[in-house]
Structure 1
């Protein structure tokens, strides 16, 4: 009788604990629910960072291109002194520069031949870089731009066949045409018109286009 009273309460406590203990299936379902929750949070973070910070995920995989750096060479200047200019020059004479890039004016003399073709005045000029580089220039001025255009076409034709030509502009206004003609001995001739003025320069082929572009007239 005594043994039955003692064992009975223990048997009831064991049964109660067994009834409250979760089964393995319940634990598996709980772990699965936790895993799914974490996966949803991770996916949400990925989507948010993708929209808010588009470059976050590809910042290391795709490096940004380096900025383009443009290096501009300094404009060449003469290493020799230009000739002394006369004080009684005409306005057209004064418009002919004492230097163009690395070339300095060495001589300036009146040219008669263009005046025979109707030019109001014309000048022969010689420019030098102090070494082997020399440019000879013939410049003339006519009464009208139409007469100047006729003279420019004749000077170009006498130089040969142009391999480059185009418009001469002052701002956005076209004031004439230019043409570059290859010549013998590694030289080139460039002829251009600027309103009533026409210039013809002959010199090293690799510098004549720059010479024309830098000429102020």
Structure 2
């Protein structure tokens, strides 16, 4: 009969590329199609990762960027040290002299002399004048020098009265406060202007010991802060 298919032959009116529904079900995608699909899937995955990162950094509680600046690290320089060896101590030292340091910051002990006026006029048990300097000669021009007068009395009440007299003679204090030892008050201190421009005097009491340091204003205050007694 005219127009009847025989033996699985394709009708002449169908194009060579025609596929039946059964053929299309069992046909595998081409390599180009698979590559396009992988690119799409990879792109979607990357987009999700980026979205999660943005939400984490800017939206999610606890992860949002803080507007507060990061505090700068504080660098503390080591304290200065002397360039000369201490000298000037007498051979037979008292307990008070032994307790006084050889060096304070960049200053080294250069000389020790008895202070007779504190013993005679202020009734000190003993009294000394010590010179601390940053070079070999405390009397050299340009040398940084702090001169310390120290005396000891028989009781704290007498030592406190001497401190009051010294502060009354020194003038109005620019700074004052308590001297503390192991968290307990052991006396008081005061900073007053020196007799020469640019100098200062720090006077303080620690128990039965009274001390008075004189030197360049900034240096003598640092000297007092670093002094162990």
The SS at the match of 2:218 is coil
Name the counterpart of 1:150: 161
The answer to whether the Cα contact below 8 Å between 2:90 and 2:112 also exists between their aligned partners in 1 is no
* Counterpart Cα distance in 1 of 2:100 and 2:76: 27
* Counterpart Cα distance in 2 of 1:149 and 1:102: 30
Name the counterpart of 1:182: 193
Question: Which 5+ residue runs of structure 2 have no aligned equivalent?
Answer: 1-51, 136-141
> Are residues 1:207 and 2:219 paired?
yes
After superposition, the C-alpha distances for 1:40-83 in whole angstroms (9 at most, x for unaligned) are: xxxxx9xx979x94134x33xx4553243111121111112210
> Are residues 1:166 and 2:173 paired?
no
Name the counterpart of 1:122: 127
Question: Which 5+ residue runs of structure 1 have no aligned equivalent?
Answer: 1-44
Give the TM-score of the pair, scaled to structure 1. 0.71
2:112 alignment partner, one of 105, 108, 112? 108
User: How far off its partner does 1:175 sit?
Assistant: 0.5
Give the TM-score of the pair, scaled to structure 2. 0.67
User: How far off its partner does 1:195 sit?
Assistant: 0.2
* Counterpart Cα distance in 1 of 2:165 and 2:74: 41
The answer to whether the Cα contact below 8 Å between 2:89 and 2:111 also exists between their aligned partners in 1 is no
1:73 alignment partner, one of 52, 58, 77? 77
More helix per residue: 1
Moved more, 70-79 or 137-146: 70-79
The SS at the match of 1:77 is coil
Across the two proteins, how many residue pairs are aligned to each other?
Answer: 167
1:95 alignment partner, one of 99, 106, 114? 99
After superposition, the C-alpha distances for 1:105-143 in whole angstroms (9 at most, x for unaligned) are: 110011111112111000011111115211111100000
